[in-house]
Structure 1
């Protein structure tokens, strides 16, 4: 297998319901926002521990 999707695979994916495709999109978006929140919180915690804080 060359790693490319065949036309049949693409047609199969397009047959899935719209709510299911949008659900995956929403889950990926929520996961990325959550990961960004965790990284930002950790950075803020480390900066506060180093004595860098906002008034």
Structure 2
């Protein structure tokens, strides 16, 4: 019996590979949004808000 790690990526179902792509992309977008929000909060607290 082969382990999951032994199966080449090209042999895995397309839907599974696309699912991982969407999951990683979503996580990176959400992380970037969280960092931008935190920076905005720090700037607002320091009195650097835009008009």
User: How large is the Cα RMSD of the aligned pairs?
Assistant: 1.2
Alignment partners' CA distance in 1, 2:45 and 2:26: 29
2:31 is aligned, of 31, 35, 49, to: 35
Structure having greater relative contact order (Cα 8 Å, sep ≥ 6): 2
Q: Provide the secondary structure at the position in 1 that maps to 2:8.
A: helix
Matched with 2:44 is: 48
Give runs of aligned pairs for residues 1-40 of structure 1, distance below 5 A: 9=6, 12-40=8-36
Query: What stretches of structure 1 of length at least 5 have no aligned partner?
Result: 1-8
TM-score in terms of structure 2 length: 0.82
TM-score in terms of structure 1 length: 0.76
List structure 1 segments (4+ residues) > 2 angstroms apart after TM superposition.
none
